[in-house]
Structure 1
């Protein structure tokens, strides 16, 4: 309801009162077959979560004045993948802890989206009165796997990136006891459209370094 019905209600209010509606979407609306996804690629979600995100996008599109910003692999101030990897790096580095390595999936590919970059892009679109519509927004730079990113975080935290061992998605969830929302294999988003408005997304690896340094204090 939050992903589908919520945006539909907001879109109705925005349309009736000529309000600009900003909506953050997800790579989950795609099936991940394309190595890089453009804004006009047809929806092909793999699971219920992706279906509800796609429904939200469609609903928001009914508001004449709207911006949809599509993200992937979001990292912000709360609980997230990078903080988890930093914690695990510390555990592996602790000689009194019995954890000697971690496994991370290496067959899903994308770029991190930092919430600071997302906020910057939103205000850029609003302040410059860019054309309404859908824009991809992630960090720029090299497309990498979750395992690649985990190694970078481990190296930045304790210099122990070699302790991250790759594993396939199928192997990782082989013993899952609850439903798993399937992720697209390829989550990289084409950033051409947002760049053409005058906004250049930061390189996610540079932002990652700054993020980890800040967390380390």
Structure 2
């Protein structure tokens, strides 16, 4: 688990194909690696990866074909900048929100514009994630815990303050940038709980919660 508070901007040092997968080597920048051991988890642009090799200024992690195809890690190149966060501990301040490091889908930056010292971004999420995104709710974008300012359909807006711009890769986003999105885990559990006893009968092809479902089961009047 993670908090969505980025600890360092890292740099992709090397990308080595290995048996159809990819081994990434990432220079960790200012990230404190003194308490990291082999097998520990580090979030890279919001994707939970396992450290398989370490030195004082970098680590390596294996990335599966599925992860490369479903996240923005497949778009990286040598020299790409990435957000880094070590896994939380029981002593960690939960400054953001609970983040699993399991990406739900790829979003796309639609626009950006300055707003005083902040920058406002408009992001388009995959249609299937729209129901989990709420105004003033939390969302994780490339590993960064953020508050949603406005939602319209599958598009939502974020206001990024100067500190976040300086401490993450968000400052480099432009129209068309692909971003990893993870919705608030509470929304996912709530959806499942609303199914009640019907949860055991739901399949990936049986559909999600609809207004008709809520009305049928007494959640709407």
Asked if TM exceeds 0.5, the reply is: no
Q: TM-score, normalised by structure 1?
A: 0.24
Relative to total residues, which structure has the larger helix share, 1 or 2?
1
The higher relative CO (CA closer than 8 Å, separation ≥ 6) is in: 1
Q: TM-score, normalised by structure 2?
A: 0.24
Relative to total residues, which structure has the larger strand share, 1 or 2?
2
